[in-house]
Amino acid sequence: MLRFILVFLVIIWPWSCFGEIDADEINTIVSEAEKNAKKMSIPVNKFTSQGMKAARKSAADYHSKEFQQTIKEHKSRLTQEVFKEYTENWTPHRNKEEVGQLEHEQIYVFLSSSIPIEIIQEWIALMSKIKTDKISFVMKGVPGGLQNIDREWFERLYRKDDNCNPLRKDCEYNEYSIKIKPVLFKKYQIIAVPAVIIETEQSSYLLSGDAGLDYMIEQINRHIKSEGLTQLIKEMRKSG
């Protein structure tokens, strides 16, 4: 698409110097741009492999316990020494419902419109109550496709009261986003949903099947033995 725009601009610019362009001229320009675009190709980046390797190493270094500890030490020094004048009377606010113990785990919940909508509604309502950015709901694509998005499905999905008719009155909606991430489905080779992936610093764990979200996380945590996940499960069952 970018190549098409560039070629289009290159071709149309000289024409614009000579006055208005009629429809036939525009069609000719577009046709010529399409032909030229097919002849163009982006050169292969010979450093892709090295770049990916360097990116993985940087990510691993950043998320390592040693580097995270260094960040904490610098934050503490800045707070207690450099900016002490401004921070000594300030106390960080913490939401009583916030789950802040998941330092090294990231949870992905894989969904699709084939799952009964009532189940996804329940999980979205639950996540709206639990304040954490460590859980991501993801789908492989958009129900109905990008050209014909099933807006009614999404509207109902987020609606708090399934009996509320949005055509008759204003309905309340849960605030929790579902991300479209086909790359994650490919990365983890997800073939059945719902599925839960929990990433840690050392590895990743997968569990799929018709079960409650808290139950699937609990089963995976039997292998991980994370205090943060244990606390999350308690919060989920308390809020559910």
- Residue 91, pLDDT above cutoff 50: no
The average pLDDT across 16-33 equals 64
The average pLDDT across 129-141 equals 89
Q: Is the pTM here over 0.75, yes or no?
A: no
Domain segments of the chain as ranges: 2-38, 106-143+176-239
Q: Report the pLDDT value the prediction gives residue 133, as an integer from 0 to 100.
A: 82
Amino acid at 5: I
Amino acid at 58: S
Each residue of 164-180: pLDDT tens digit? Answer: 988 888 899 998 889 99
Q: Report the pLDDT value the prediction gives residue 232, as an integer from 0 to 100.
A: 92
Each residue of 68-89: pLDDT tens digit? Answer: 667 766 766 666 666 666 555 5
How far is 103 from 228, CA to CA, in rounded Å?
A: 8
The average pLDDT across 12-40 equals 64
CATH code, residues 106-143+176-239: 3.40.30
| Class of residue 193 by CB neighbours under 10 A (exposed 0-12, middle 13-18, buried 19+) | buried
